[in-house]
Chain A
Amino acid sequence: MSLLTTNYLTPTGREEAWRFTPLKRLKGLHDATAVIGDRQSLQTIAQLPAGVSFTHENLDPLAPSDDLIIGRIRAASSAVSHLSIASKVEVGQPIFLGRTSGALDTAELSRVRISLGAHAVATVVLENTGDTVLAEDLEISLAPGSNLKFITVQEFDSKSVYAARHHAVIDRDAQFQSITITLGGDVVRILPTVEFVAPGGSAELFGVYFATTGQFFEHRIHIDHLVPHAKSRVNFKGALAGQDAHTVWIGDVFIGSNAEGTDTYELNRNLLLTDGARADSVPNLEIETGQIVGAGHASTTGRFDDEQLFYLMSRGISLADARRLVIRGFFHEIITIVGIDSIEDRLMNRIDSELEKVGV
């Protein structure tokens, strides 16, 4: 199969969207030199409840994308793994999706659709593990009044490359909550993006990332408020430890001239646990109407708070345990939103072991 079309320009690294990304480590996903393997790795983990289906079908994209990797995926494939939750179905238990196979010598181009019918309610967990090279065009369609909690966990092994866009299209009064957790991989670049297509919708984008020695994790958020009376919240927290650990957080929020009544706030906090790590954090708000409820952003990058460590240690707690408590505490606010004990425990333990690995 011929690889990727050449209609798309190959980024040089000077483009705004690519200026932080280590292109050389993308294993050819960006410049069409990757050899495409023949795999569709996404699977459902357990029996699906009534009203939920998982199929492979040919679907047109929900929304255009100017990301060139997404463009290449679409040019190469119309086959989509489609998780669909029918109208009015309320799924009590989380639906688990995961990946069963991967490879480093070839790349997978994946298209995924998650769609909720009107007034459907569901929690979907997508867990990425193993060593793989994966480019993913994941689109989420929320019909009017539907409600999705979407948890993605990137626990790739250390050589993996993952370049993805997670795009949600939110219809009238629909509610979208995502928790994007990135803890493993060599290069992970995710574009969590949202567009509102009718008034009354809400989107809450939460995220946690922890990059250790040499890892590059980028989260490039974009929220388009082009219709009135939608609400968005973004809160990403990251920790970095070890030489050349590098994270990038971009928060682009655009409020169009018709989007009166918009209410948006975005926040990014980074904790630099050692020297030699680098956190880039760039919030960016563009507003074309004054008729809004609120719009704001905040971004901080700091180190361990000596006063917190002193307080804990003055109660007999060792430095290592004090640091562990502070880091767990830092992430707790977001991890607790996951609401699934087994995942929360696993993530906290993983965070502990990342800490141990770099000897903080």
Chain B
Amino acid sequence: MSRLEIRNLAVSVNTDAGEIEILKGVDLTIESGEIHAIMGPNGSGKSTLAYSIAGHPKYKIVSGSVTLDGRDLLQMSVDERARAGLFLAMQYPVEVPGVSVSNFLRTAATALRGEAPKLRTWASEVKDAMAALNMDPAFATRNVNEGFSGGEKKRHEIMQLELLKPKIAILDETDSGLDVDALRIVAQGVNRAKEMNNLGVVLITHYTRILRYIKPDFVHVFANGRIVEEGGAELADELEAKGYADYVSK
């Protein structure tokens, strides 16, 4: 059983116009096996929350705490957080020229497991993970995210999620840019990871479409750098019908 606890988190970024505060006190607790959907308008700070938890150097923690099973994530380097069990599926996965997917995956698995995976079982592990996401095996020899279509990048993220087996995953708009079939395939991947590893999920999304496949236990409305409303799956439908006007003006 794992628990990610975010307490009163305030975060700022440095801009040409000086430091601006983007997160203004976020409170959220995610436990193993739970699905939390976060919905909110563009620019409200959802990606900022995801990146701050993962440790992106651009963001400055002003106050608050983030712990995973009681361990202070904010004191850890980015890779330590991943090794503690955190995973971030990025809204815009990064291209890494000259580094093959297979080399990347193997290096990551070695780091996370503390030893190099056995060559024999590893090959089939990767092959199965790719097949499960309907990815052509040829992707293994391509460079990380280089020239991948938007949807292929997202499938690649969820393939890693299944392969690397984190405790808690933050999925930042993984559903954006997916066609209907890919959406179902990706959702199945997330559900498998939940079933097999009791994964806890933070699902940042703009659309209720993906919530038909991945049933949220909680829906949080994010506006102006904080969570302004919480509810069950029905809240998502309400948002889809009415938009964020009520929350933004608050």
Contact = CB atoms under 8 A, between A and B. Distances in A.
Interface of A: 306-308, 310-319, 321-322, 325-326, 328-333
A316 B97 contact: no
A333 B79 contact: no
A309 to B, nearest CB: 8
Nearest to A312: B96
Interface stretch (B15-23, B103-111, B212-220): B103-111
Interface of B: 54-58, 77-79, 81-83, 87-88, 90, 93-99, 103-104, 107-108, 111-112, 143-144, 160, 164
Contact of A325 (B57, B88, B99): B99
Nearest 4 A-B pairs (CB), nearest first? Answer: A329-B98, A332-B98, A315-B108, A316-B82
Given A325-B103, A325-B104, A329-B143, A315 B97 contact: no
Contact of B94 (A310, A317, A318, A333): A310
B111 A310 contact: no
Contacts of A315: 82, 104, 108, 111-112, 160, 164
A321 B56 contact: no
A317 B96 contact: no
Contacts of B56: 310
Question: Main secondary structure on chain B at its contact with chain A?
Answer: mixed
B94 A311 contact: yes
Nearest to A307: B94
A328 B98 contact: yes
Question: Main secondary structure on chain A at its contact with chain B?
Answer: helix
B107 A331 contact: no
Contacts of A314: 54-55, 78-79, 81-82, 87-88, 90
Contact of B79 (A313, A328, A330, A332): A313
Contacts of A316: 79, 82-83, 108, 111-112, 164
A324 to B, nearest CB: 9
A308 B107 contact: no
Nearest to B145: A311
- Residue in A312, A330, A331 whose Cβ sees the most chain B Cβ within 10 Å: A312
A328 B107 CA distance: 13
Contacts of A308: 94-96
B30 to A, nearest CB: 17
A313 B97 contact: no
19 contacts: A306-B58, A310-B94, A311-B96, A311-B144, A312-B104, A313-B82, A314-B88, A315-B111, A316-B83, A317-B79, A317-B108, A319-B79, A321-B107, A321-B111, A326-B99, A329-B97, A330-B98, A331-B98, A332-B97
Contacts of B103: 325
A328 B94 contact: no
Contact of B98 (A310, A311, A317, A333): A333
